[in-house]
Structure 1
């Protein structure tokens, strides 16, 4: 008589702990949506100048706050990451050795973002607290 055994159950985990590739994928989507939202708002507020120059001036005046300045700094970081990671994604997809070097390229992307982003954001932060 033969017995039928149930298949082995995989280990259950309560939290997915993805590797850096999963986090880079998620951050690429988040930065893309953020940039799209900024462009949408930018087109709308720029269009206000044709509708009502006074409303446009009032809107631009509300942008001269520290909160919006911090949002602009985050936008710089988002654009840098999205651009460099986009090049990495293209290389992974279309370069034969791309998948082999995808993790190294991620670290290069992060280093490039830091090398360009820190001085740019630092300059923006400096102008936030100085008179101009």
Structure 2
């Protein structure tokens, strides 16, 4: 099986991983029901995606019972850091400053006052160190 830390999940695989990271353990049916809240997708498509993800090493599958139980086999934070690093390199020429400026200046995703407070705290902490 491939080493999951080098696998770049597709957008659909990331949606499934988000569900599994939130739930911990889930059946295909449970994942499918969550996906149906945001997109029109067939059960067999969800099943096939999860089977492919298992083959890639992105998820683990407990086959000890009739209904298979899935869980993410890749760490959420590690995956976020890996994908963010790739995005910074490819879209922002390696500049995290450009990423932050773009994110905070984006009219479609305005930061809440609470998020701005968290960002300010992080900046203050970074300045201290």
Q: TM-score, normalised by structure 1?
A: 0.25
TM-score, length-scaled by structure 2: 0.25
Higher strand share: 2
Larger Rg belongs to: 1
Going by fraction, where is helix more abundant, 1 or 2?
Answer: 1
